[in-house]
Structure 1
Amino acid sequence: MLEPDSRPVNTEGPDGDRTLRAADFLRAHRQEILADWEQAMHALHADHSDRHSWLMDHMPELLIALAETIEHGPEGMGTALWDEHALERLDQGFDLGEVASEYALLRKCVLRRLESEPRTLAPGELERLEEALDRVVTRTMTCFSQARQRILQALDRMSQATLDGPSVDTLLSRLLSVLMESALAVDAAAMLMLEDERLVVRAAVGLGADKALGSSLGWDEGFMGQVATHRKPLALRSASTDPRVVLRALKAPGLRALYGVPLMEEDRLLGVAYMASRTAFLFAEPDTLLFRTIAQRATAYLVQARLQARERAARVEAQRSLAQLDALLAAMPLGVAFMDLDLRVLRSNQAMADITGVPVEAQLGRTLHEFALKETLQVLEPLVRHVMETGEPVRAHEFTSSVGATRKPRVYQVSYHPVKTPTGELLGLGCTLVDITEHKQTEAKLQRAVDFREQLLAVLGHDLRNPLNAIGASAFQLARAQEWGPPERRAVDRIRKATARMGRMINDILDFARSRLGGGIPVSRQRMNLAEVCQAALEELQVSHPERQLVFEAHGDTWGEWDPDRVTQVLGNLVANAIQHGQEGVPVRTTVRGEPAEVVLEVHNLGEPIPPELMARIFDPFKATSAPKDPAKKTRSLGLGLYIVSQIAGVHGGRVEVRSTAREGTTFTVHWPRTRASR
């Protein structure tokens, strides 16, 4: 959090009146301006509530930067914050007008707040404020336009590279060449495709391209494996020296910046792409944005090429075996039909007849206009025309119509694809039609049930706090009584421990509800020593678990900026998990280790390893970390502890990892970046 500015807001005017400086006004009233602007932003984006507001996160820094610009003029302006805003909005799909509207709202909020100020601005201050805002808007608009123009030019060249229908490898090489020609800092680039659980270099350009082509590595091996595993862009500062880089082509002397992105088809990993530089330690934001755009377009081409290959194979097989096709159509539970170039139905199955209410015999030889309802034609005609004119398929288009015998509105999903010969000649169209009305209704019911469950958990967790606090306070008072004997004191102690355990469960429920309904788990960062906080937390845990030995070690510099309460919560959840599932009589070891950019927290225990089938969803909510033989242990946890750990680590910009074997035991590792990650 920014510290409040201590400089005076007012200055003496020529007549002794106290006047207001614009820069000091912004510093002193940034919280009020932020509240006004946030309310205006919600109204502006009322139809796009899912859009993440970059400005909302960076507003305090932006106002301070604006104040510096007012005081020092253009030389005090800087570029990083405004350029970052432009590129972030471009990446999110905003247009130039929407970006300008956000700054217009900011200007309006500042001026309205000034109107409510009883003191006036000093002479010339309003002009300096307006000039500073104009510089900011101009800088952002210029960066936005330049980046968009650069991307559009690259996309145009990429489209040209596909005109002659090249092979996938040739197409990928052309796309990478477009990248190198568009980004001067790029000296090498490649695309690795996932084939038989390995990442294989299918295309490479620039430095080390000959060495890279055809080489492969495990899909989770090295830096490329990290990109594939985490399924998000990652960067390195020194590719030639970093031990995580295992591709020989990237070990060339002098290679510095390395940036990798996953190639994703929805939730499916297709491969990984990277670019490297000899001159830069980190790629500029415009270069990474361009690379992500090219990677997305390359993924779309790969998906399209794969689907087209499948369609060609299906058409050849259909021509060889019409009898098998008819048998298959008859057995299909979804409606299927094939039409010629005049859109006359050549083949149709019984499922299509059941959906449309038109018998198969009545469909054959007739066009869509002859038996389809007018309201259905209005939906389907544009889709058919698009396929006929472009040769591109239309997939999974949903519409509502009253087709069928009942004439009641139902929801359908229709797909059209061109039917071609192996030589590319267009023969007609294939159509599939599915009635998904029940599926949509079930989906809506399930969503309502999930929403109700999460809201119920939030209300329940909140309302249980008061009676639980009363129980804890009463147990505390009973523990202070002098007349109790050992049996009674043990009973009171059990009440206090059970109350503490219930309190942790309620806190987990509330944190879960915040993460799912309230925009994330809140944290309050401060300068702290992670080792000291962990040691104090372990001492409290040792009192609660005197039967288990808790061992603590710390190494190196463990200072950084974190939320101490959340750090304590993470350690408590991990140690409680280790005690529950670890082998009795064996110590639970906690290690804190300082590294250059982060501090690493490890909690280790011996015991039964986590089953492989649970490892993939170990951090999901309401999931147990193992399947204990004792049913009583299964009820001691809500299955939220590790989920909360992963959420807290993510809010701090870190991550959680786990490894578990029968020989080495189970170790949870939390990476805590020392400072807030810059965007």
Structure 2
Amino acid sequence: MTTVAEFIERNREQLVERYTEAVGKLESARGLTAYERTDTFPEYLSTLAAISRQGHRGDPVRTKKRLEETHISQRVRVGFNQEEVTGEYVLMGRLISGLWEALPLEQQPAQEDTRLLFEELEGAMDQVIVSFSGYSQEDRQREKRFLHRLNALAMEVMGDGEYSVPLNERLGALVEVVQEAMRADGAALLLADAGGMVLLPTTYTGRWNARTESEPVAVDGPTFVARLAASEEPLELPDAAVAGHAVSEGVRQSGLHSLLGLRLWPHGKLLGVFYLGVAELRPFEPQARRYLETLVEYLSGIIQKALLLQQLRQANERLRKSETLYRLATEAISDAIWDWNIQTDTLAWSGGVEKLFGHTREQLGGHISGWSDNIHPEDRERVVHGIHELIASGAQRWKDEYRFLHRGGGYVHVTDHGLVERDASGRAVRMVGAMQDITASRGASEALRASEDRLRLAVRAAELGTWDFNPVTGLLRWDERCKALFGLPLEPEVTYEGFLAAIHPEDRERADAAVQRALQPASGGEYDIELRTVGSKGRAVRWVRAIGRAVFEGGRAVRFIGTAQDISERKLQQQESQKRAEFAEQLIGIVSHDLRNPLNAITLSVAALLRQEELGERQAKGLARISAATERATRMIHDLLDFTRARLGGGIPIERKPLELHAHCRQVVEEVRLAHPDREVEVVQSGEGRGEWDGDRLAQVITNLVNNALAYSPPGTPVRVETRGEDGTVLLRVHNAGKPIPPELLPHLFEPMTRGRPGGDAASRSIGLGLFIVANVVHAHGGTIEVRSEPGEGTTFTARLPRRAS
């Protein structure tokens, strides 16, 4: 078996030439020289070959990583985008695997070798995604700009230390920034009440009229807002104008149509719901969903900190009267709350510091250094300088993000907010704040971006179409590839009725039934179907396989997503193979039937000649050989006719009649003995042998099994035939002491055209249909047959025959 390394080394120049030609067709490659287009590809091929030979270890792996980093950096400099760079590694995989795709399986590389190649290429694509961070430069700059604006407004939301304006009156500017960032026509924010069971209308911007939005919304109700509160992912509403009571009166009067929103869910607790709307009917692309998640996550942090500081502000008023009440309030909050006496540099922590970072209050000590010493060395100077500079400037609020040491080892990312308390002269005397662990949210956002990018690349590489159906609203979204598979135009949106119309009429009802079944909770949501498409205007038929899964909420399907793949070529190959097989089997039956007449004539003629008295010894032997050969040909023709009946006629026909199987078996074995006078065939019988069987067909079974045992056993060894009556069945067992049948042949022994191990008696060999016919006759009687072949034990065929038809 050839290795991947050998394929690469033999075709190195051809691979480089095709790679350079394909890369040169990219828009970003215009103006590049052939050397720049090729870049490190020749050396990279050598590294892949070395990994194929040595495995994933040693210098080749380090060299491969260096070459990938060099290649990605070079592509970034000349203007390639992420998709084009990852496409180069997809192209490498196609070019290399294309070297052996048309070869027989035994000439292709081993599966483990091929898997290692594609793992290395996937690793390179992951490196590309990490390098490009999943966003274009323009998207990242836009995100930074609006996050900066939110950050600038955050201080206003935190409110004045002495005079606190109600929070809902300070959130409008933040919501307007998110609305502008998403290019929406209106936005709404509802915050959860203390019990988390009701959402209270808080802020509305754009086309929404806040005066019409005054009623609380139950989180367990049927509305779109309630669905947002229960969903972990952003949700869309295609058209609010026709959504009825799923949306409020204010939404219906606003002129907004398509809605997109998600819940505010910091630390696993519902904070509120944010959603926005646009005036036109349109779907929201995945990038918009991800962008909204980033903005709302940041908005959640601001609101949560505002709520926290509002609580702290209220607590401070009470704490001036009672230090005990202060401790109870801070310990009730899950974040790490700290209280810094600026005059003495003593620092007090809430119990949350141990829960988040593993440090007890005693381990951190009572000095401010217990905090600063645990800040990451790369962040320490910036953070400490920043907080002292803010105190000196006379400002009141401080915020920063940095890495803080966890007691268990390693650093966690935190966001930290603080409020400065000053005396009558303006001197800072106290600072109270809260630290929050944001490691998981940061990691989840980055992992989600990488996962979405990998999925998008995988779908494109496999040439799959994707679809997304909302059973509640009836909205069906197809990508361009999916529309092309069904022969539909790219411009208009697809409806479910349009999907059914694009299916071949003979498959349409079956496809609709499969969809409806998948949308029922009892089905598990699984959907897998092969169907034919005709497209618009009766275009040519194409075979498509569609695979999907339904998502359920409260026993109702709320989303149905999946892929579609063109399988026309595979279906055509299957049909052609079936036609060829049926033609061959029909031809066998016709030829076998027509050969019986000339063979009968030969048999009769030989019999007549043998009766002549003047035959010499030589002539008699010749006629005897002709007679034996004719009988063997006749047996083969009978086997072929039975094979044709079994494959094309629905099985071998049998005619049951009362039969004593013990006596019948002795008679058949005696006939076999006459043909093999030099061999010992032992017959053993026990139990009741009466039943209803087709005697002629069972004679075929016994004859084939005994002849097979004689042909594949040493001349001096006996063959044992046993019939044994049991409850409801009679057992037929034939055993010989020959060499065991090879294990790899056992599963295929009863298939047509299959012979046993080499070395049997050449004179008694058949065309490989004997055991196939044996199995079909036994099965036609409702019985079973099995074979056991072990070294030292010989080979045993065991058939169990029911006494009567079931």
Rg (Cα) greater in structure? 2
- The TM-score by the shorter chain falls in which range? 0.3 to 0.5
The structure with higher relative contact order (CA 8 Å, sep 6+) is 1
Q: TM-score, normalised by structure 2?
A: 0.39
Q: TM-score, normalised by structure 1?
A: 0.45
